[in-house]
Structure 1
Amino acid sequence: MLLEFGRASGPADSAAAGLAPVLPQTLHRAKPAGSWWRMLLARAGTRKSATTALGDLRTWVDSPATTLIHKSATSAVGAARRAERLSAKRLWSDFQRNAAAYTTLLTEIGRAGPDGDARAARGFVPDELADEAGGVDLDTSLLSVRLRAYQAFGAKFALLQRRCVLGDEMGLGKTVQAIAVLAHTASRGGRHFLVVCPASVLVNWIAEVSCHSALAAHQAHGASRDAATARWIKEGGVAVTTFETLRRLPLPAGFRPDYVVVDEAHYIKNPQAQRTQTVNAVAERAPGVLMMTGTPLENRVEEFRDLVSYLDPTVADTITVSDGMLPARDFRSKVAPVYLRRNQEDVLAELPESLELEDWVVLADADEQAYSAAVGAGNFAGMRRATVINRTAVMSAKLERLLEIVEESAASGWKVVIFSFFLDVLSEVDDAVLAAGDGVKTFQLSGRVPAAERQRMVDEFSAIDGHAVLISQITAGGVGLNIQAASVVILTEPQLKPTIEQQAIARCHRMGQTRRVRVHRLLAKDTVDERLLEILGGKSALIAAYARESDAKKLDPAAVDGRLTGERADAAGTDAGGIGEGNLKQRIIAAERQRLGLPSGASRAQT
């Protein structure tokens, strides 16, 4: 429909912009040629000027640029006429399915300046660096998607710096910015591009490259891995593989890709891990490397330093453990040359606000018994699950509240996504929703679902007209998938890291969302939930101080926000000396045993 015109109109805009300054003057000079008697009476100089101008107009009329403008205008008229024949409901449905693309087009048509706050859109990087990045001539001829101003700046920044981290908040379109970088490089003669990502988003990457660019996408993973890799080496394009598969790719000795993109780069924050070493071995040979992560530092300044060291050892050498005690702005200025981050509120003025609610429940007798048994056994995972499923015929208090939220959402026609870490919780919730709902359609997405099927499941869920429920394991559906069709998110239990919850919420609250997203956190009083909330609060404060806002963001009218975490503690800085995750679980178990008056003993501090 209208998007067909929007996608094709970019080159036409450029062509029209080239003609606009000279066309009025040329038409004025050619005016005498419109009448033979005017030409007869005109002076010799006027006749010559009119004849020359007429020749210029004929050349322009027959030029590829004018043909492109005419084709674009014809497409626009056709799209508008087809849209007139559609119902308002059909048009709204099309807008909801393609909200991100429509919003980008509308923003460009009506924009007087860059997205959001100008300096924020540039990530608050230093002015000199921002101006230099803004001056990069980004070639979008191989793109079939229009970039928003902050996205164009992100691509320009990456091209200028060559090796950097794009740490935009989840939902801002890091993938399309990376594709823009690859498309520009291809237009300048680059042939081989490599994307390394988690298996859960591999299919999405293949689809995005194919949809948004003229580059060929090759799935270098699975049964056709070797054949796809050979085809990529021969023909060029974008090879997409996983962290685990990369080391098994049959690459020629010394093979040098033109650009490497590492998605979810925090997967390689441990320099001792084999996958980190494998990625670096390939990236070191590439002239361009773009690492992408919405959470560059979940726990430690050291981890961010390691990430930076893969890109620019000189910058990494300036980062010390004691920098965690510096003011956040001072710390960010150190990493501005290799780090750009923008936040949703800075660049997506049209994004509806999210409403986050804490739904506290009091455990029923059956819940209490299940929870006390788990505490007595020192089973940390059992403690977390017991607040949702009590293994009896009596429904838990959390499950009752969950069904109330689902019922309210069904009455409004809203789609719901329910996240849990535990497989047995997913099954219990699925059964309860099906039993309570009147023909409600549910989908269960877990790590057991092949990566290739996950986006297909999400697409089917999104295509349903009205209410539906997606029940997802947070580690499987909370990363890399786009679920803007849902406007209600339910978290059945708090997670050990705030970034896990933030990523899950961002699957729904992202560019293209047209409704206000309601996030319900189900929490049980006097349980492990309260202890974890305290920890999450501390860890979130660290990330907000250091990894939320980049100096690179504060430089130019088209870029926006990033920070680093500064404490050593895996436990989110709740202990100044830093305690490991396992030790953290043991402390929570000990605290709960003491509160319940249970004897201390050996524990199994599972997740």
Structure 2
Amino acid sequence: MTTRESVRDRTGLGPKGLVREARALLDSAATLLDDHRRALDEVLGALAPLRAQAVKDALVEVPVARLRDVSGGRLRLGPLEDAGIGTVLHVLDTTPYRLQLLPGVGPQTAAQLHAAARRIADAAERSASIRLDVDARDPATTALVVALHRLVNAGPELSRAEAAARELGERLGPPVADARPALSWWRRSFAGRRRRGRAREALGEIAALLPAEDARGTALLLPQASVDLLRPAASGAEAWLDFEVRAAEYHTLLAELAALEPEREAAEGFLPAGVAERVKAQPLDDAHRTVSLRGYQAFGARFALAQERVILGDEMGLGKTVQAIAAIAHLRAGGGTHFLVACPASVLVNWLREIEARCTLAAHPVHGPGRAAALAAWIGSGGIAVTTLDSLYALDVPSGVPVAMFVVDEAHYAKNPEARRSRTVAAWCGRTARVLLLTGTPMENRVAEFRVLVGYLRPELLTEIGPDEAAVGPRAFRSAIARVYLRRNQRDVLAELPEVVHVDEWEEFSPSDEAAYRRAVAEGNFMAMRRAAYAVPAGSAKLRRVAELAGEAAENGLKVVVFSYFRDVLAAVHGVLGPDAHGPVTGAVPAARRQALVDAFTAAPGHAVLLAQIQAGASGLNLQAASVVILCEPQVKPALEAQAVGRTHRMGQVRRVQVHRLLTPAGVDRRMLEILGVKARLFDDYARRSDLAEAAPEAVDVAEQSLARRIVEEERVRLETGPGAVADPEDTGGGP
């Protein structure tokens, strides 16, 4: 059968109809690309004045002395200083002609001064940070938010449509052009034999390409994307409201369009160059992913794929879940069918929601009453099974089920090798080729705990991480563990985040507080000492301050999260703030109920308060609706406070976060801060930038029992109370 006959058999259109259909597709592709380009130009046009102002704001702070740094120290700056020109911005605002009118400044020097100032300005422009602040809605920023609104609301299908349009032009454009001689007898008459042969081949290529585009839905995808881009511009108020709800999407797009991604080394977790290059060479298929990724998130997903068995230790709020989902989606595109996620019960609901929102794979909640049916459905049809760390041991998965990736969220919960959950995690790591451990706190009390996680992945690597290397500091570990560990911090990769302001609120004991505290010291009850300031609510100085802070937040329409380790403290706070306070979220509240409490808190218009036990609320809940955090007392584990704050100060937060930690100047609070300072420094040194440690001379651990005993003994001496046994430091004031 000839090519022409096969074309007629397929379409019934003949060569002209076939090319007409192809041209219609190409026209749709060109139209979409033009519409998209105009939308991008609108964003870049709105961005230009903001970037120019940011550069000016930066240069006005740079003294003229910095000009020597970029000129090898050759420039004479005395004439500038004598003329009152004290900043680089002032130099740029003064023309070279006016500069050379200064005594001692000739044409060549004036040109050199301007060139040096321009070099600094160029550097400032490259690093200029553009922040969208809901509390500073000036016309220029509003114009940018309105321009971004169009692209954000075009949805994730826009990027697919644009990619399809570009690919269509590359694949379909040449054969359509080459097929022209086959469209009429007179064109064939003037074409040579070679061109006629190429025209027949081109018709065959078009006939093969069009069914493929039909299968992809290109004919509908392209015009729909154009319609989305051509909708009337939103009003400023509408765009700002949408931004508050979807800030992460706006910032992701802004970072991409404005080249505001973080420095390369920070985004790559300060990995050695060889490892980083290997990761960047790893493809990342987005066919089954429905969201865009930030540059550092794409790098994290590639790291998991390229290195196969890794720990992703990104700080709270950077999107570890979506990076794991992106890696899973890539493996699904490559033929993987079954994936398993194990997580604490508190985050299981969040995982199910994220999977549904971020990818096309089915999520199976293998937990609770319906676990047997969910497990059978997963085994039969594939997708992502989500279970809890404590239920993982009972998961009966036949050995023939090919688990393409095993993901463990909050992996530090599996740090104790003797615990059943840890043994089960280790067993699953042993039977699965690709493993991804997620943890924002790779060590809490003992740096050796991190070796346990590494041992699940690469036992052979432990021999390379010896105590001698640890003794010389964290840098000695960086190269040793680069194959398995990646960590990035908010301050390095989320330049758009509003600042977080920490305020220590020192409250003197009231008489009733003092009496309760002395009783707790006499009894040797460390946990009662920690919550003595709330023992008598009617006379509590800390409770009075909680009420004041909540009242100030209410006047400003801000949402508040109140954290405490103790349930009876939260009950006292609830009594002061009234029944409208949401919660409390505690360890005894089922995961689905926790999420419902958070949803109600988030959906409440204006001011609202959520009460949460810090060990429950710091894990797995997204609280970026809140911009005020109240910590009722300092925590034994510094990482617990950091996690709690990280639940609010994360990607998607649009307001400055105020963190108020309530402290008493005399007693347990002050001593805890002094003693625990070493633990916070240890975490910063060894874990914050992809560092591990097993032991180091300065890494002195303070266990909770010894901390309690030490403080009780010191307080007895200070208060001259009698000796007694130290009570259980695990008491949480009403259960976990």
Secondary structure in 1 aligned to 2:159? helix
Contact 1:96 1:485 (8 Å CA) reproduced: no
Structure 1 residue identity aligned to 2:535:
N
Contact 2:470 2:695 (8 Å CA) reproduced: yes
Q: Residue 599 and residue 210 in structure 1: after superposition, are their counterparts in 2 closer, same or farther (change >3 A)?
A: same
In 1, the alpha carbon distance for the partners of 2:505 and 2:694 equals 31
In 2, the alpha carbon distance for the partners of 1:69 and 1:124 equals 41
Contact 1:266 1:296 (8 Å CA) reproduced: yes
Question: How far did residue 146 of structure 1 move?
Answer: 0.9
Aligned position for 1:582: 705
In 1, the alpha carbon distance for the partners of 2:193 and 2:631 equals 79
Aligned position for 1:426: 570
Match status 1:324 vs 2:465: no
Match status 1:94 vs 2:234: no
Give the structure-1-normalised TM-score.
Answer: 0.88
Match status 1:495 vs 2:640: no
Question: How far did residue 39 of structure 1 move?
Answer: 6.3
**Alignment length, in residue pairs?**
580
In 2, the alpha carbon distance for the partners of 1:407 and 1:50 equals 78
Aligned position for 1:454: 594
In 2, the alpha carbon distance for the partners of 1:326 and 1:38 equals 83
Q: Residue 23 and residue 246 in structure 1: after superposition, are their counterparts in 2 closer, same or farther (change >3 A)?
A: closer
Give the structure-2-normalised TM-score.
Answer: 0.73
In 1, the alpha carbon distance for the partners of 2:232 and 2:692 equals 47
Aligned position for 2:681: 541
5 Å-filtered alignment, 1:185-200, equals: 185-200=331-346
Contact 2:182 2:188 (8 Å CA) reproduced: no
Question: How far did residue 18 of structure 1 move?
Answer: 2.5
Question: How far did residue 536 of structure 1 move?
Answer: 2.9
Q: Residue 213 and residue 321 in structure 1: after superposition, are their counterparts in 2 closer, same or farther (change >3 A)?
A: same
Where does the alignment leave 5 or more consecutive residues of structure 2 unmatched? 1-149, 731-736
Q: 1:16 aligns with which of 142, 147, 165?
A: 165
Question: How far did residue 5 of structure 1 move?
Answer: 2.6
Structure 1 residue identity aligned to 2:365:
Q
Secondary structure in 1 aligned to 2:552? helix
Aligned position for 1:5: 154
Question: How far did residue 101 of structure 1 move?
Answer: 2.5
Q: Residue 517 and residue 76 in structure 1: after superposition, are their counterparts in 2 closer, same or farther (change >3 A)?
A: farther
5 Å-filtered alignment, 1:417-566, equals: 417-434=561-578, 441-550=581-690, 563-564=691-692
In 2, the alpha carbon distance for the partners of 1:390 and 1:183 equals 52
Structure 1 residue identity aligned to 2:376:
A
Secondary structure in 1 aligned to 2:282? coil
Contact 1:585 1:605 (8 Å CA) reproduced: no
Structure 2 residue identity aligned to 1:511:
M
Match status 1:362 vs 2:362: no
Contact 1:15 1:65 (8 Å CA) reproduced: no
In 1, the alpha carbon distance for the partners of 2:202 and 2:556 equals 63
Q: 2:715 aligns with which of 572, 584, 592?
A: 592
Q: Which has the higher relative contact order, 1 or 2, with Cα contacts under 8 A spaced 6 or more apart? A: 1
Question: How far did residue 314 of structure 1 move?
Answer: 1.5
Q: 1:128 aligns with which of 264, 268, 274?
A: 274
Structure 1 residue identity aligned to 2:676:
L
Q: Residue 80 and residue 442 in structure 1: after superposition, are their counterparts in 2 closer, same or farther (change >3 A)?
A: farther
In 2, the alpha carbon distance for the partners of 1:2 and 1:418 equals 37
In 2, the alpha carbon distance for the partners of 1:434 and 1:537 equals 35
Structure 2 residue identity aligned to 1:498:
P
Contact 2:704 2:729 (8 Å CA) reproduced: no
Secondary structure in 1 aligned to 2:483? helix
Q: Residue 44 and residue 309 in structure 1: after superposition, are their counterparts in 2 closer, same or farther (change >3 A)?
A: same
**Which stretch of the first structure deviates more once superposed, 71-80 or 426-435?**
71-80
Cα displacement string for residues 86-135 of structure 1 (whole angstroms, at most 9, x for unaligned residues): 66444433322222233223333x0547x201121111111111111111
Where does the alignment leave 5 or more consecutive residues of structure 1 unmatched? 551-562
Question: How far did residue 268 of structure 1 move?
Answer: 1.0
Work out which of the two has the higher radius of gyration on C-alpha atoms and give 1 or 2. 2
Structure 1 residue identity aligned to 2:160:
P
Structure 2 residue identity aligned to 1:209:
I
Q: Residue 498 and residue 28 in structure 1: after superposition, are their counterparts in 2 closer, same or farther (change >3 A)?
A: same
In 2, the alpha carbon distance for the partners of 1:568 and 1:270 equals 21
Structure 1 residue identity aligned to 2:562:
I
Question: How far did residue 509 of structure 1 move?
Answer: 0.5
In 1, the alpha carbon distance for the partners of 2:222 and 2:401 equals 45
Match status 1:299 vs 2:483: no
In 1, the alpha carbon distance for the partners of 2:218 and 2:374 equals 38
Aligned position for 1:161: 307
Structure 1 residue identity aligned to 2:162:
D
Contact 1:268 1:276 (8 Å CA) reproduced: yes
Aligned position for 1:416: 560
Question: How far did residue 138 of structure 1 move?
Answer: 1.1
In 1, the alpha carbon distance for the partners of 2:597 and 2:693 equals 35
In 2, the alpha carbon distance for the partners of 1:259 and 1:149 equals 22
In 2, the alpha carbon distance for the partners of 1:594 and 1:351 equals 46
Aligned position for 1:554: none
Structure 1 residue identity aligned to 2:686:
Y
Aligned position for 2:57: none
Aligned position for 2:141: none
Q: Residue 294 and residue 28 in structure 1: after superposition, are their counterparts in 2 closer, same or farther (change >3 A)?
A: same
Structure 2 residue identity aligned to 1:505:
V
Secondary structure in 2 aligned to 1:584? helix
Cα displacement string for residues 397-456 of structure 1 (whole angstroms, at most 9, x for unaligned residues): 111111111111111111111100110111111121128xxxx55332112221112122
Question: How far did residue 19 of structure 1 move?
Answer: 4.3
Q: Residue 441 and residue 58 in structure 1: after superposition, are their counterparts in 2 closer, same or farther (change >3 A)?
A: farther
Contact 1:194 1:261 (8 Å CA) reproduced: yes
**Which stretch of the first structure deviates more once superposed, 339-348 or 8-17?**
8-17
In 2, the alpha carbon distance for the partners of 1:491 and 1:308 equals 33
Q: Residue 39 and residue 252 in structure 1: after superposition, are their counterparts in 2 closer, same or farther (change >3 A)?
A: closer
Question: How far did residue 144 of structure 1 move?
Answer: 0.8
In 1, the alpha carbon distance for the partners of 2:328 and 2:362 equals 11
Cα displacement string for residues 55-101 of structure 1 (whole angstroms, at most 9, x for unaligned residues): 688987886289756644544454456664x6644443332222223
Secondary structure in 2 aligned to 1:522? strand
Q: Residue 69 and residue 349 in structure 1: after superposition, are their counterparts in 2 closer, same or farther (change >3 A)?
A: farther
Q: Residue 273 and residue 469 in structure 1: after superposition, are their counterparts in 2 closer, same or farther (change >3 A)?
A: same
Contact 1:374 1:382 (8 Å CA) reproduced: yes
In 1, the alpha carbon distance for the partners of 2:212 and 2:439 equals 44
Cα displacement string for residues 449-482 of structure 1 (whole angstroms, at most 9, x for unaligned residues): 2111212221221112211111111111111111
**Which stretch of the first structure deviates more once superposed, 517-526 or 441-450?**
441-450
Contact 1:2 1:83 (8 Å CA) reproduced: no
Q: Residue 541 and residue 308 in structure 1: after superposition, are their counterparts in 2 closer, same or farther (change >3 A)?
A: same
Q: 1:405 aligns with which of 541, 549, 556?
A: 549
Match status 1:177 vs 2:323: yes
Q: 2:538 aligns with which of 376, 393, 405?
A: 393
Contact 2:560 2:626 (8 Å CA) reproduced: yes
5 Å-filtered alignment, 1:31-42, equals: none
In 2, the alpha carbon distance for the partners of 1:270 and 1:156 equals 29
Contact 1:299 1:565 (8 Å CA) reproduced: no
Q: Residue 298 and residue 523 in structure 1: after superposition, are their counterparts in 2 closer, same or farther (change >3 A)?
A: same
5 Å-filtered alignment, 1:329-348, equals: 329-348=475-494
